[in-house]
Amino acid sequence: MSVRKLKPITPGQRFRVVNGFDAITTDKPEKSLLAPLKKSGGRNSQGKMTVSHRGGGHKRRYRVIDFKRDKQGVVAEVKSIQYDPNRTAFIALLEYKDGEKRYVVAQNGLQVGQKLESGDNAAPEIGNALMLKNIPLGTIISCIELRPGQGAVMARSAGTFAQLMAKDGKFVTVKLPSGETRLILANCLATIGAVSNSDHQLLVSGKAGRSRWLGRRPRTRPVVMNPVDHPMGGGEGRASGGHPRSKNGIPAKGFRTRSKTKDSNRYIIERRKK
């Protein structure tokens, strides 16, 4: 894992920091695991814009990722570590003994030729997927399920990890990347190790055009909008904009939007840091 600082031969490369891609072993994706990906441009099924600052960007193909790790008891070999344009983490191509191929989110330190397994018989080693009740306390984990069989939903982006803190009956206590400490059912799956590409946070795009390649359009400050476009718009001259709030009128900067009656509140032991 490394990053490279480019020489400033153009203005856009003066502050540019790029990924070294040391871990990547091939640039050709597995054709059988590719799917088309249609862009929405932030519009819903009625064609109305529901998310702002989206649109354009380079064409991508989706890599079908196995988040469920439900092929249990069958040993797989890591064939390659690949780049995925749809996520910040790298992905690993696995080939099982029966010839089936699947993509999984790659963990830090995963090597080509390494043998991986999921299920009750798997050892608590990097890349293996086990039930939380079978993982030793203090282990660094990622790609965690919230409901058994749902598939991984937490700690999936580059460099993230959680830690198994305690076990108590049918629940385990996990400290999540956000700092939140939470109870999760002990028969949910998790993968051993932190997610790959931990240097992702060090990257610097260098120019606005790179954001456009990623499908991000320029953001307009709400204060300079008209009242019809945003609650903070309007006013004579350079008005301050009033109380900070979203386009829908929801207050920002400290206003808590989580429901006090949400069912999963009882599973949260300690809230994330403010």
- 104 and 234 both lie in a single domain: no
- 196 and 235 both lie in a single domain: no
| CA pair distance 101, 182, nearest whole angstrom | 34
pLDDT digits (tens, 9 = 90+) for 147-196: 999 999 999 999 999 999 999 999 999 999 999 999 999 999 999 999 99
Residue 243 has pLDDT above 70, yes or no: yes
Q: Is residue 166 assigned to a domain?
A: yes
Quickly state the pLDDT bin for 221 (edges 50, 70, 90): very high
Buried b (16+ CB within 10 A) or exposed e, 55-91: bebeeeeebebbbebebeeeebebbbbbbbeebbbbb
Residue 15 has pLDDT above 90, yes or no: yes
- 66 and 152 both lie in a single domain: yes
- 97 and 191 both lie in a single domain: yes
Q: Quote the pLDDT of residue 273.
A: 78
- Domain encompassing residue 260: 226-265
Q: Where are the alpha helices (DSSP H) in 95-234?
A: 208-213
Q: Is residue 74 assigned to a domain?
A: yes
Strand partners, 173: 166, 183
- 20 and 112 both lie in a single domain: yes
Q: Is residue 30 assigned to a domain?
A: yes
Residue 1 has pLDDT above 70, yes or no: no
- 147 and 180 both lie in a single domain: yes
pLDDT digits (tens, 9 = 90+) for 81-140: 999 999 999 999 999 999 999 999 999 999 999 999 999 999 999 999 999 999 999 999
- 67 and 181 both lie in a single domain: yes
pTM: 0.92
- 26 and 68 both lie in a single domain: yes
Contact 152, 189 (CB under 8 A): yes
Supply the mean pLDDT for the chain. Answer: 95
